[in-house]
Structure 1
Amino acid sequence: MPTIDIWNDKNDDISYIVSELGDTVKVDGNEQQILINHKSVGDVEEKKIRSLERIKRGSLVEIEDFQYLQIADVNLRNGMLYEGIVRRCNAKLPTTVCENVIIGYDPMWGDPVYESTCRTEYNIPSIVDGKVFTATQNQAINLVQNEISVTIQENDMNKENYGLNKQMIILDRNYKVIAVDNTKSGLLILNCKSA
């Protein structure tokens, strides 16, 4: 068994610790070893994570078959490990999936004739919350009744599908997006009101 010099900050020692004690997770679909503090932070299921590679805010992290969003800025701790906070996703947002199916061929030209079929799938991991944190204080305040905050990964598809005035069903209720906050890179925060 190799010895570890705990008094000397060496990247090889840290790499060894992460590889031996770390958990294998998926970060945006790619396997990675990270150290996880499994104790939840506060009244929501948040975990502190540390890794050798940077995990950007907004990354989707799969831990033990549960999906989490990296919600905090990632800081380099002691020049060796990246540290962040992930929060468990508690809902999935709907998306419309359409596909063209050949239903026959044009008798005159022989070209295929398509029919478009669309269906709704709930597949966008999200964090739905009835509270928000103020910018000046790190304290939660309750939103107005019938309003929720929905946090999702910021990407082109989500920006297009979940914009202002978009209506969707979240947790069995119909909501309308009344404001979009994209001030935190990597995250898209939707303020929604019950429609």
Structure 2
Amino acid sequence: MNPFQIDSSDIQFLFDSAGLTVKINDAEQKALITNAKIGDFEDKYIHTLQPIQRGNLIEYNGENYLVISETVTQRHSKYKALIRHCNYDIEMEGQEVCEIVGYNDFGEPIYECHPTESINVPAIIDKYTFKIDDFAPIRVPENQIIITMQDNETNKSKFVVNETFEVMGQTWKVIDVDMTRTGLLILTCELS
């Protein structure tokens, strides 16, 4: 028997007895949540038995967190990742969808238009470039912010260069979309 090998039944017992039910991308799962270093953000570690990925959206205690570290392999029979609290929700208005409901006397179509449902996008908004553990982050210009959110098809289609949206009581315009961190969509935005 290898003294450095952890028995998977012990890990399972730990998750069954001390694990909390969280939502990972809207699917309930048992996880252990532990505190990370104290800093400007509320960072925590999430430990799971199933694989998790950078960009996963975690709902814990009614708050949204984003997995910001890459997690590829297991550590001691479990997966561990750093999560950060999403400090803002960006409300994106629904698009107007028009349908033909009939035709007038001249054969022209009659349209009925209605907006689709608006969505809330949990995001991390900051005035510094996105760094997890750098002691000297780079500050962006005064009229710009950095927004980090989950990389998914909805967010990719809604947050494109030159798109505008409101958050923090101001209108912002996307000037750059960085997709270099798999799972995360990192936007540079300026006041519009």
TM range (shorter): 0.7 to 0.9
| Separation (CA, whole Å) in 2 of partners of 1:18 and 1:41 | 25
Q: Is the aligned partner of 1:132 residue 2:129?
A: yes
Q: Residue 40 of structure 2: SS of its match in structure 1?
A: coil
| Separation (CA, whole Å) in 2 of partners of 1:58 and 1:12 | 29
- One-letter identity of the residue aligned with 1:80: S
Q: Deviations over 1:133-166 (max 9, x none)?
A: 4699563222111110001111112111101111
Report what 2:183 is aligned to: 186
1:4-23 map, 5 Å: 9-23=6-20
Q: Is the aligned partner of 1:159 residue 2:156?
A: yes
| Separation (CA, whole Å) in 2 of partners of 1:100 and 1:145 | 37
Post-superposition offset of 1:169? 1.0
| Separation (CA, whole Å) in 2 of partners of 1:76 and 1:183 | 20
Q: From the superposition, tell whether residues 101 and 193 of structure 1 become closer, same or farther in structure 2 (CA, over 3 Å).
A: closer
1:35-114 map, 5 Å: 35-38=32-35, 41-98=38-95, 105-106=102-103, 114=111
1:19-38 map, 5 Å: 19-38=16-35
Listed as ranges, the gaps of 5+ residues in structure 2 are none
- One-letter identity of the residue aligned with 2:80: E
Post-superposition offset of 1:7? 7.0
- One-letter identity of the residue aligned with 2:125: V
The answer (yes or no) to whether the contact 1:75–1:83 under 8 Å persists in 2 is no
TM-score, with length taken from structure 2: 0.85
| Separation (CA, whole Å) in 1 of partners of 2:81 and 2:133 | 21
- One-letter identity of the residue aligned with 1:185: T
**Identity rate, percent:** 32
Q: Say which structure is richer in strand.
A: 1
Q: From the superposition, tell whether residues 134 and 63 of structure 1 become closer, same or farther in structure 2 (CA, over 3 Å).
A: closer
The answer (yes or no) to whether the contact 1:154–1:186 under 8 Å persists in 2 is yes
Q: Residue 142 of structure 1: SS of its match in structure 2?
A: coil
Q: Is the aligned partner of 1:176 residue 2:173?
A: yes
Q: Deviations over 1:80-134 (max 9, x none)?
A: 11110111111122323246588965477xxx95421227835111111111146
Q: From the superposition, tell whether residues 113 and 19 of structure 1 become closer, same or farther in structure 2 (CA, over 3 Å).
A: farther
Report what 1:116 is aligned to: 113
Post-superposition offset of 1:78? 3.4
Q: From the superposition, tell whether residues 117 and 180 of structure 1 become closer, same or farther in structure 2 (CA, over 3 Å).
A: same
- State the number of aligned residues: 190
| Separation (CA, whole Å) in 2 of partners of 1:101 and 1:166 | 22
Report what 1:3 is aligned to: none
